[in-house]
Structure 1
């Protein structure tokens, strides 16, 4: 399996950036297919490789296509990280249970709250001008009473999880949880759902990621990573 050359279907300004970053960290040969959003949506050609038509998609090289970031990251690390560099630093607390919990928090807890807020943000911008103020007011109230407090809960928890270590899976290198969390954490910050200054460890973690050579290479090879949706 490790001899197969995977192909990543990557879309600009999307969560597939975290998989592109992981591939660069693994330093393995891979193919890269770049796709461009069409009116903030996935382009139709992504349905040619997977019926969901979303990015990222990973063609494994043996006829299989994986379409979920959490699973793609797990497959890549289990298949190609033979030295265990991205599986925790050996500290007993940075084990597979911690990795799984943090990945599921990103996908099942933080992600849905973020999505609700993003939908309301888009709705307020797409609403006809004469009622836009009303949609913006609804969005503001929901952010104040629901999404804001929920995101603060998750960010405070994640900030605490970084105490005493550089990454969520230890001090030596990022783990699957770091790759998976990188997108929702940065997306919430980009559209001002949270104030990153309230979470100094997360702010330092993001800066640390952005200084990694593999992250910089992934930005150069990709086709844009602007999460602000201006």
Structure 2
């Protein structure tokens, strides 16, 4: 499960964000579910903002808070058939760019956070996602898969992180469940932080 990530460096990601009407774009180092995040979707690819916690279009509740299911992540092994995601599995593909993400290890009350980032030259992780429009609100979920060897020592799950070819295949509707298996990440331990903490120092290695 991925429940915190870091906004991408817009220049590094090569994205035009002039249309976002946020000047300057407020980069965050502790992005949380229900916050608005940048996604890339459609063909040709378009950048847009979406609420990170998918609400399916068929939900008839009075407001977003009435949707109680935990849908900020979706298991790629299950999403095609799960009611919350199956309607957008084919036509709601998106990418979620991130500079990295956090996972925790240890016992409750003493969990240690680790920051994961690309082990290669690309500063941006392109994570597979699904997007759903609910009552005019664009929402999204981040796909996860079983951890590979570069993540498994810390956590048994990881985001579905795509290379250039896989990004195109995902947006085109690929059903390949092993997509993203080859992503290679590096990680380091960071200081413990709270839900309201923010700033670039959150990703600094602990001494």
TM range (shorter): under 0.3
More helix per residue: 1
TM-score (norm 2): 0.26
TM-score (norm 1): 0.25
| Larger of the two Rg values belongs to structure | 1
